[in-house]
Homo-oligomer: A and B are copies of this chain.
């Protein structure tokens, strides 16, 4: 028997889920919560396998609830429920330990499949959700492609010096470390500024990291 609790501030939605799940012989709805703190309380005092957790909860939002429950009660399984199919929310929930993410327009069959899958120790994400994640992963391409723009070649030695600059070494220190003159290091620094089109060390570091020049 899978024992679960439903957490959502819309009573009607909670009841809807409840009536859907009532028909399932191996699923038992042990409780209903309408705000964040209640969920934490309820889980503390009852043996619960799975929480169907809405993201938009009053007082303490679903993301926070998820984080706290995983911290204190590591073996609890959380399925996030949300109206919004947004990459930021999905990743946020995943990062806080949710085992599944389904949308509110999910049908009965998929809901039950999600519950059973997560209960068996696996993770469950609806097709729409995974598609959203994949799409957002792809969109990042255009961003990074734009920032790349035009980058001249940075020589081996320059990279070496750039690396040390990023590691907070000063020019005298770099000179000593590489057994070359202080003036040579300064030359390399100037070349780097020119090549990467930076005004100072701060820009050098930012541009180097943004464009993954080292690696």
Contact = CB atoms under 8 A, between A and B. Distances in A.
Kindly report how many copies of this chain are found in the complex they form together: 2
A1 to B, nearest CB: 27
Interface residues of A, number: 32
Given A205-B205, A206-B209, A168 B138 contact: no
A133 B95 CA distance: 13
Contact of A95 (B95, B137, B201): B137
A52 interface: no
Contact of A203 (B96, B134, B135, B168): B168
Contacts of A199: 168, 170
Interface of A: 91, 94-97, 123, 125, 130-131, 133-135, 137-138, 140-141, 144, 165-168, 170, 198-206, 209
